[in-house]
Structure 1
Amino acid sequence: MTTASGLVIRETTDADIPAMARIMSEVNPAHQWTPESLAHEISFLQAHPLGLHLAQWIVEEAGEPVATAAVLQFAGMYHQDRYHAEIMVLPAAERHGIGTRLADTVAAHLRGRGAREVLAGAYEHQPHALAFLARRGFTEAMRFYDNVLELTDFDLGQWAGHERVPDGVRVLSYPQLEAELGPDAALHAFHAGFAEAREDVPRTGDATELTLDDFRKRFENPALFPEGLLLAVTDMGEVVAVSELWRADGNATRLNTGLTGTRRAWRRRGLALALKLAAIRVALAAGVTEIWTGNATTNAPMLAINDRLGFRPRPAFVEMKWGGV
């Protein structure tokens, strides 16, 4: 579609992935994408057995990509009538009506799909973006902090004793668990512990069951850092707590935290703190200077652990919702 102002809005092809990754990274520099990581995410969504929906657009001005948008469904919080919408406009192209035109395109697509719930969002220090969503009927549903730990002056010696775990439990990396149990048994044990721990993570909808096939595909992610997958494992080989580190796209000095969580029967025994400290030890050995983690502002137990360790919040991402299922 070519607008009256000469903007071209069209659906994307695989050839647009590098431009999309560049726009997404420039719009949200705290969370970078590479063409490889974006291609992996697109491939995962398109091949998912739930039949997840994905539609993407790119906007060109004088032949140059200046914005991108997407309507998608996530496997982790799936409902057939729930969609997530993203609109990203390069800073230099903002306030020219491009976002409005993309929003109209996205809205028409969602109407055609019969969407009953749409989730979108922006950061709290972007009031114009939040107002943009509010004018379209979105209201705040939840907030998520980026919490950042600077490792330059972190002193693990001050935490002596806090890495201890209960009798009958050891801290292992996933490669160590594989070496002990074998690949198949290790994968099943990791999946069982991870799947239960993630169920209670705050989110704006019910968690979808994490299948073993979905879990296995996580190991194809270009950001995989196997030594940063830290597990609390019983003498019987049961994974009872998890804390994950993943590589950050385009930044060798940073690691991102995935899930940190504990199975219900093992909570309040210090496992989460012990695993976070083990993860920090791994990060320091890798020469990393920052660890980032995301937490819902309602996740008081995890926020308390992170605050105690020295993680400090950045501006929160405000998830906004239209409708409901």
Structure 2
Amino acid sequence: MTVLVRALRPDVPADAEGFARVRRLALPYILFTADSVRHTVTQIHPDARFRPLVAEEDGEIIGTAQVHLIHDSPDPGQGTLNVYVRPDRTHRGAGRLLVRAAEDYLADLGASRLLAWALDEPANRAFAERRGYRRGRSAHFLRLDLAHGTLPPLPEVPPGVELRTAADFADDPRPLFELDAETLRDEPSDVDYALTDYDAWLAETWNHPLLNRELTAAACVDGRPVAFTVAYTDGDSRYSSAMTGTARAHRGRGLAGLAKAHSLHRARAAGVTEAFTGNDTGNDPMIAINKRLGYEICATEVRYVRELG
């Protein structure tokens, strides 16, 4: 059996569905659908030079790679490749071929620093280290059983604070963009990001097919959002927190936890049974919030880094 690597064809339904299927099997803690795959391919900023790849065996997609430049960082020359293979189709060479194709593509674009996430498991660590990658930051995936777990009672909304949903900002989402940009600057990461392009944010984030505006919650003061949690849902009873944060001037008041608690309670009432989130392993305040909400760590991933000569 021969494994071939090629570019994803977003206009071919079987490609987008196959890509999403591999990701759901290999990385069940992040939501992927065929629509979300197509959205990323067609809406990501052109400066990212995004190139999704698939590994195919006998006409079946068994591996995937998301490959692009990190265009929204003030530090140029960085690229990312996230490679995942179906757990029941490993040891066929798909991962090796995908990494080689991704590295060649990024090197041709002038990238000098490559970053890749991998689940923190012995085989994955060995695979990365054999190829010259060194271990960087790590992050936890956390899971909350909304159907059978214990979600704490709703906290009271403090005086002067109003809870709204993203749907309430449908006519003008710019305040949410500004809050997203501020909180992103303080997100623990191996990469510094600068969110400055409002139109790109509208296309990529605000119009993302998994974004659930009714479940995305914002704590507002004087009518402006100062803390929020972004909710993704896949239409199949699964929920994921895409971002949670608080403006610097309003931290220490419990507003991020307040927004997330209200979002989760509404999600459970809407029939969601399983919620996921992720935190940098050094982000103790957010990990504490999530554990109070009933989340439990279910997996850990590591950011691997390789410097090209």
Equivalent residue in structure 1 for 2:124, among 115, 118, 129: 129
Rounded to whole Å, the distance in 2 between the matches of 1:108 and 1:295 is: 31
Is 1:272 paired with 2:256? yes
Structure-2 change in CA distance of 1:110 and 1:307 (3 Å):
same
Rounded to whole Å, the distance in 2 between the matches of 1:151 and 1:66 is: 31
Contact kept in structure 2, 1:23 and 1:88, CA below 8 Å = yes
Rounded to whole Å, the distance in 2 between the matches of 1:296 and 1:111 is: 28
- Partner of residue 31, structure 1: 30
Contact kept in structure 1, 2:142 and 2:299, CA below 8 Å = no
- Residues 223-278 of structure 1, C-alpha deviations (whole Å, 9 max, x = no match): 1211112111122x221111121113xx6222111211111111111212211221
- The letter of the residue matching 1:283 is A
Rounded to whole Å, the distance in 1 between the matches of 2:168 and 2:146 is: 25
Is 1:231 paired with 2:226? no
Rounded to whole Å, the distance in 2 between the matches of 1:199 and 1:71 is: 23
Percent identity, aligned pairs only, is 29
Rounded to whole Å, the distance in 2 between the matches of 1:153 and 1:130 is: 34
Rounded to whole Å, the distance in 2 between the matches of 1:205 and 1:26 is: 27
Contact kept in structure 2, 1:256 and 1:293, CA below 8 Å = yes
CA offset at residue 131 of structure 1?
0.7
Structure-2 change in CA distance of 1:7 and 1:194 (3 Å):
closer
Rounded to whole Å, the distance in 1 between the matches of 2:61 and 2:206 is: 32
Rounded to whole Å, the distance in 2 between the matches of 1:153 and 1:100 is: 40
1:171-250 aligned at under 5 Å gives the runs 171-178=163-170, 183-184=171-172, 187-217=173-203, 218-235=205-222, 237-248=223-234
Structure-2 change in CA distance of 1:273 and 1:12 (3 Å):
closer
- The letter of the residue matching 1:169 is V
Equivalent residue in structure 2 for 1:71, among 53, 67, 71: 67
Rounded to whole Å, the distance in 1 between the matches of 2:265 and 2:99 is: 45
CA offset at residue 121 of structure 1?
2.3
Contact kept in structure 1, 2:82 and 2:118, CA below 8 Å = no
Is 1:163 paired with 2:159? no
**The 10-residue stretch of structure 1 (280-289 or 208-217) with the greater mean CA deviation from structure 2:** 208-217
- Partner of residue 91, structure 2: 95
Contact kept in structure 1, 2:162 and 2:220, CA below 8 Å = yes
Contact kept in structure 2, 1:242 and 1:261, CA below 8 Å = yes
CA offset at residue 207 of structure 1?
1.3
Contact kept in structure 2, 1:142 and 1:318, CA below 8 Å = yes
Q: How many residues align?
A: 305
Structure-2 change in CA distance of 1:225 and 1:95 (3 Å):
same
1:8-87 aligned at under 5 Å gives the runs 8-14=4-10, 15=12, 16-45=15-44, 48=45, 51-74=47-70, 76-77=72-73, 79-87=75-83
Higher helix share: 1
Rounded to whole Å, the distance in 2 between the matches of 1:20 and 1:78 is: 30
The alignment partner of 2:271 has SS state of: coil
The alignment partner of 2:217 has SS state of: strand
The alignment partner of 1:54 has SS state of: coil
Contact kept in structure 2, 1:192 and 1:239, CA below 8 Å = no
Contact kept in structure 1, 2:150 and 2:294, CA below 8 Å = no
CA offset at residue 74 of structure 1?
4.2
The CA RMSD over aligned residues, in Å, is 2.4
Contact kept in structure 1, 2:30 and 2:240, CA below 8 Å = no
Equivalent residue in structure 1 for 2:270, among 274, 286, 295: 286
Rounded to whole Å, the distance in 1 between the matches of 2:207 and 2:107 is: 34
Rounded to whole Å, the distance in 2 between the matches of 1:100 and 1:277 is: 42
Rounded to whole Å, the distance in 1 between the matches of 2:219 and 2:113 is: 38
Rounded to whole Å, the distance in 1 between the matches of 2:149 and 2:55 is: 44
The alignment partner of 1:227 has SS state of: coil
TM-score by length of 1: 0.85
